[in-house]
Amino acid sequence: MTAHGHFHWNELMTRKPERAKAFYKKTIGWTFSKMKIPDGRAYWVAMVKGKPVAGIFDLSPKMFKGVPESWMSYLAVDDVDKRVKKAVKAGAKLMSPAFDVPGVGRIAMLREPGGAGVGWMTPAKV
């Protein structure tokens, strides 16, 4: 498990996941494994030599209107629910309440006081 406070995961947030997959396959050599996220949509895990290295998240649903395409980084935290409460008190805005992804961990998405998006996650114990 990644230590508290260290970057743990990165994902590309895009409205065109197929285009992104083709680009990274051609340029970096990534392969992809499809998984379902809690709302039932597909999420793509980028792989190198059979190991997960990043994700591709589809921003096309209306609820993400106005969210720019970008890479999103996730910090590992010891207790995402406790840390989110502290973050909100310190001026962060909660973009997505904490939710569980089986086999991955508990995740929340925030905007820190300067406006940058960041994910926090308590990785699942594997």
Q: How confident is the model at residue 1 (pLDDT cuts 50, 70, 90)?
A: low
The pLDDT value recorded for residue 76 is: 95
- How much is the CA Rg of the chain, to the nearest whole Å? 15
User: Residue ranges of the alpha helices (H) in the chain?
Assistant: 17-27, 80-89
Q: How confident is the model at residue 29 (pLDDT cuts 50, 70, 90)?
A: very high
Spell out the domains of the chain, with CATH numbers in brackets: 7-123 (3.10.180.10)
Q: How confident is the model at residue 83 (pLDDT cuts 50, 70, 90)?
A: very high
